[in-house]
Structure 1
């Protein structure tokens, strides 16, 4: 049986649900295809800077999420040489700074509940895309097909839609990342700060989400022997050993020790080379991509999830304006308006993606390098400069719907 939908979004992650909700707020219906049978909350949490909160406010869910997460007061960077506080950068509210560590599952559930109940279709994996005039025909894993006038790929770093557009597969950065979550029923006792640590060839961060839950990440350049680490105990011990070598305070090491080893995620860090955003096919006809399908980046700026939310707002605005730009029922004229709307979206977003990917990649090299000279500069000069580079990107405003 072949169904027909005006707009199909592939992937019910941050970008997909943000786009669907943005369209819904503008009175435009869409269908979200999710390959899993439930909402996926992989990643535990992510740093949500002021630019992301502007996007969430535009979508109408910002205040609800703020109630559940601590407003972090500053960035605290620990010295590599002695394990003590080296640099502190306050997040001043009157300068528009807002950062919280947002639980991914809570964000997805909040976005999803604002959508009509029939918007998300689970267990709907797209296996191929075909074309018939101006309509895209999606072949699903269960053998069914779906025709659509607009196709939006929000299906992550291994996107089927980006592959159809001709975009290259995201490249391995040479680094890997580990993410974990620890819960302290009686309270973790940490200040409301974003804590950063550096050591020989690694960087790490610890962010409280609320009074009881703490998110942490660890990035390093794996050797051949640990390139494909999958055992939770081994992964946990790697981080603990690195922390001890770098003289990280014991209370932060306890966060790693208390984390559920079965929930630890270890994965290669991938990115799309920035020039492809400028010269590749980010949109073609009535097809485009958002989020990691558009601009996968290393996590060193903490802007991957934030920029995905921005994408959703901008795309919903551009596409809804295009769809409401005419009402004569002419399919060809509507197709032209859709194409122009998607091109407007890409034009607005590609330079933002270029900047974030480039800065994040360079930032990661400088922050994680074990070169003696760079480590000296990082200790004496670069920590504050690199921290302010992170803050600067949060001033961006994607605008209203």
Structure 2
């Protein structure tokens, strides 16, 4: 939001830092308040689709991130036996959406974003809470944020404090908040030397697995399965993965053999099923999971946070921000929920029908993997042109 002179960002994740960089580039004095003792994120990767990369173009970071793309060959969707249900390639994705899909470690993206802020802009170990959302039409009533060192005033507060956002609860106390999505996830990033494989996601009965290479030579693997909320393995989560996926196709056994119990992260999945009435109130804007947490089945959580941040920095006021973001993120969240129902099917007959339908549809046209991004990956920031020189001219 170009008119903000003083901006406070609550949360130093991807959405918060992207917003901070975008606002800083537009002349705002930005302070990022991060509760954790450092910006080091959870040890997992993130997939950035062309929509998010175009957003990063707007802050001069898109080409740096595109250079980290490791997906060069074929990939697609498989069955636990190893049978390919749907195949595609990096070139097909780039042709369809005008840019690549990039997979990188979250820490790498965080580092690139933080490097574009002034050294004193980020305060870690700085728990923050909203004292007063302020009034956008009243220059005498700024927003106020409480910190351990006292209160701060701002023309704009960006709440990027995650799925369990305290700011969201303060702004919309009657909203029911996030609900359990019905499944849990595991993630691991490890070296896997000497093992060659095609990037893939595999769908079973009430379970999925994905294995993808990273540019730095490591492998990012994730799994998801229908499970009761709050459940944990009786021994350790690596052992749980072995029980659930140990007999699936290569390279899954090799990944499990290389992983240590401490390498495996497990988190239940929640999403915001009932959309918020707005993504702002007063001088406060919600971004990312604080505004529209969604299942990871489209890989769009972080991507939508980037879209939020860039849009926020470009619109003239917060009602325009809500108008631009609320309908889109609501639609994408609902699509992610539908995909979750599809890939978490548990019935034997239903999953057989699903797999055969995917295989047939993929022979008849673009792979299901690519069609799932139609209407999503083609997003562009509100105000072109973009900073990156390699962005295609037809994107402007």
TM bin, normalised by shorter chain, reads 0.7 to 0.9
SS of the residue corresponding to residue 59 of structure 1 reads coil
Query: 1:98-117 to 2 correspondence within 5 Å?
Result: 98-117=100-119
Distance in structure 1 (CA, Å) of the matches to 2:233 and 2:244 = 18
Deviation (angstroms), 1:252: 2.4
User: How high is the TM-score relative to the length of structure 2?
Assistant: 0.85
Deviation (angstroms), 1:97: 4.3
20-29 vs 381-390, which moves further? 381-390
**1:146 alignment partner in structure 2:** 152
**1:176 matched to 2:175:** no
Deviation (angstroms), 1:230: 6.4
SS of the residue corresponding to residue 276 of structure 1 reads coil
Distance in structure 2 (CA, Å) of the matches to 1:48 and 1:74 = 18
**1:276 alignment partner in structure 2:** 275
**1:285 matched to 2:287:** no
SS of the residue corresponding to residue 180 of structure 1 reads strand
Tell me: CA distance 1:74–1:170, structure 2 relative to 1, closer, same or farther (3 Å): farther
**2:253 alignment partner in structure 1:** 253
Distance in structure 2 (CA, Å) of the matches to 1:123 and 1:72 = 40
68-77 vs 296-305, which moves further? 68-77
Query: 1:1-400 to 2 correspondence within 5 Å?
Result: 6-80=6-80, 82-91=81-90, 92=92, 93-95=94-96, 96-130=98-132, 134-140=141-147, 142=148, 144-166=150-172, 167-184=175-192, 186-191=193-198, 193=199, 195-210=200-215, 212-223=217-228, 227-229=230-232, 234-245=236-247, 247-249=248-250, 251-273=251-273, 275-277=274-276, 280-318=277-315, 322=316, 341-382=317-358, 384=362, 386-392=368-374, 393-399=376-382, 400=384
Gaps of 5+ in 2: 135-139, 387-396
| Contact 2:43–2:189, Cα closer than 8 Å, also in 1 | no
CA RMSD of aligned residues (A): 2.2
291-300 vs 215-224, which moves further? 215-224
Tell me: CA distance 1:174–1:108, structure 2 relative to 1, closer, same or farther (3 Å): same
164-173 vs 116-125, which moves further? 164-173
**What is the aligned length?**
363
| Contact 1:183–1:214, Cα closer than 8 Å, also in 2 | yes
User: How high is the TM-score relative to the length of structure 1?
Assistant: 0.84
The structure with more helix, counted as a fraction of residues: 1
SS of the residue corresponding to residue 182 of structure 1 reads strand
Deviation (angstroms), 1:149: 2.3
